[in-house]
Amino acid sequence: MKDLTPRKIVEELDKYIIGQDKAKHAVAIALRNRWRRQQVKGELLEEIMPNNIILIGPTGVGKTEISRRLSNLANAPFIKVEASKFTEVGYVGRDVESMIRELMSIAINDVRAEMMKEVQEQAEVRAREKLIDLLYPPQPSIPNESEEDIQKRMERHNRVRQKMEKLLNDGELNDREVEILMDNPKPPHIEIFPQNGFENLDLQLGEIMAGIIPGRRDQRKKRTKVRDALRQLTEIESSQMVSREKVNAEAKRRVENDGIIFIDEIDKIVANYERSSGADVSRSGVQRDLLPIVEGSNVPTKFGIINTSHILFIAAGAFSKSKPSDLIPELQGRFPIREELNSLSQEDLKKILVYPRNSLTKQYIALFASEGVELKFTESAVEGIASFAARANEKMEDIGARRLHTIMNALLDDYLFNMPDPRITRLTVTKTMVSSKLARIIEDEDLSKYIL
């Protein structure tokens, strides 16, 4: 984290997102400030508030993508919620605090997985010992045995054990069967919280999967191959070696200090988003519910109380029918930073096709390779695709880079259907191919509405 300077963050984001420099700039500062804050000593530490951000921009220009990449970079607990989820018609909506509980359970899973990985090696050593005990159980003592005989018997036992150990380590016993004791999964008991969705049920199930519930054990014997037994015993051992309290404490620390919540579609909870009076009430209601969480409050979760004061909130919305200033004033105040993202030009679209690590052309090249076809795009073909995408965005609705998906699909549809075909081993997409395939569709208003 120390090396993740704002410049470096932007550099990393540049690998995936074309343009949108101002937004990258803003999120880079916000992320770095969290690290800076944690270097501060004393009472100021509590005073420094996160730079919550609203990203404003048309659909498909990279708002969600920026946040997604940012969270990968930060290795921080991250969730994305749709603000409109909290206003579902006919139901009070999911309670807003559920996002904190969800974030916490994500952090718990991450931390637990990390800690289990740390003890993995040691756990495997233990699991191997247990397995040898099972394969070659210690023998009961024989009555009236002389000291000397005991000695001899023990030596022999140890020799065999060592041989077994070697066989086990060499994988020679992998296919042998062994009987191990497994915890029976407990039936999930559902906790009823008022206005609660299903996320608690998820938590319960997650816990059962990890088999970390101590106390009442309901065990059963199970025959399995040594190979699988080793894996299962290692898992059991490592989950026993990881303390629940430690996991909780670390997850809580991460959520409270590094957590990032991305609230998408925040423009849809503006009161006058659409004309219908009933929903207006619930929309400003959601804003009001959001406020304490963004401002900082204590939210009870299964894993303890979480203080939300320093969680970073990044909101995003198209704000085509409304403005950020239509949000209730208190909430506006909690998002001091506004950044606009521009709609994508033909030049941007062209770069998006090629440059990002996960660019569409790279994705299709990989898909074709799976069928043994070497796919290539000439530069002018890429230009052509971008130009058709830009035209389609102009003629119909501007859906940003998402248009590239539909265009590419229309372009390569025949091949995608006909592969594998021994006659197709390579394909170079040229400008001519692009034009002949797409021109007809784009000129025809009706066709383009359905296909692009």
Ligand X SMILES: Nc1ncnc2c1ncn2[C@@H]1O[C@H](COP(=O)(O)OP(=O)(O)OP(=O)(O)O)[C@@H](O)[C@H]1O
For ligand X, give the closer residue by CB, 60 or 93: 60
- The sign of the dihedral angle between the CA atoms of 295, 301, 305, 310 is negative
Answer for which of 212, 318, 392, 434 binds ligand X (CB under 6 A) is 318
d(CA 352, CA 360): 8
Pick the piece of the chain touching ligand X (CB under 6 A) from 6-14, 56-64, 184-192, 419-427.
56-64
Rounded (10°) CA dihedral 238, 243, 247, 249: -160
Answer for which of 400, 429, 441, 448 binds ligand X (CB under 6 A) is 400
Q: List the x/- string, 62-91, binding to ligand X by CB under 6 A.
A: xxxx--------------------------
Choose from ligand X, Mg ion, none: what does 77 bind? Cβ within 5-8 Å by kind: none
d(CA 64, CA 196): 26
Choose from Mg ion, ligand X, none: what does 93 bind? Cβ within 5-8 Å by kind: none
Determine, following the binding rule CB under 6 A, whether residue 258 of this chain makes contact with ligand X. Answer: no
Determine, following the binding rule CB under 5 A, whether residue 64 of this chain makes contact with Mg ion. Answer: yes
Two structure tokens written together for 383: 């230009």
Determine, following the binding rule CB under 6 A, whether residue 50 of this chain makes contact with ligand X. Answer: no
Name beta bridge partners: 305: 300
For Mg ion, give the closer residue by CB, 64 or 120: 64
Q: Using omega within 30 degrees of 0 as the cis cutoff, is the peptide bond preceding 420 cis? A: yes
Name beta bridge partners: 220: 182
Choose from Mg ion, ligand X, none: what does 401 bind? Cβ within 5-8 Å by kind: ligand X
Determine, following the binding rule CB under 6 A, whether residue 20 of this chain makes contact with ligand X. Answer: yes
Which residues from 329-388 bind ligand X, rule CB under 6 A? 352, 356
- # chain residues binding Mg ion, by CB under 5 A: 2
For ligand X, give the closer residue by CB, 111 or 261: 261
Q: How far is the CB of 62 from Mg ion (least distance, A)?
A: 9
Strand, coil or helix: 198: coil
Going from the C-alpha of 197 to that of each of 99, 107, 184, 193, the distances in angstroms are 11, 19, 27, 8
CB atoms within 10 A of CB 245: 8
d(CA 333, CA 222): 59
- # chain residues binding ligand X, by CB under 6 A: 18
d(CA 343, CA 268): 20
Determine, following the binding rule CB under 6 A, whether residue 402 of this chain makes contact with ligand X. Answer: yes
Q: How far is the CB of 27 from ligand X (least distance, A)?
A: 13
d(CA 51, CA 56): 16
Q: How far is the CB of 175 from ligand X (least distance, A)?
A: 45
Give the list of residues 6+ apart from residue 190 with CB closer than 8 angstroms, or none.
200, 201, 204
Binding site for ligand X (CB under 6 A): 17-20, 59-65, 264, 318, 352, 356, 400-402
Binding site for Mg ion (CB under 5 A): 63-64
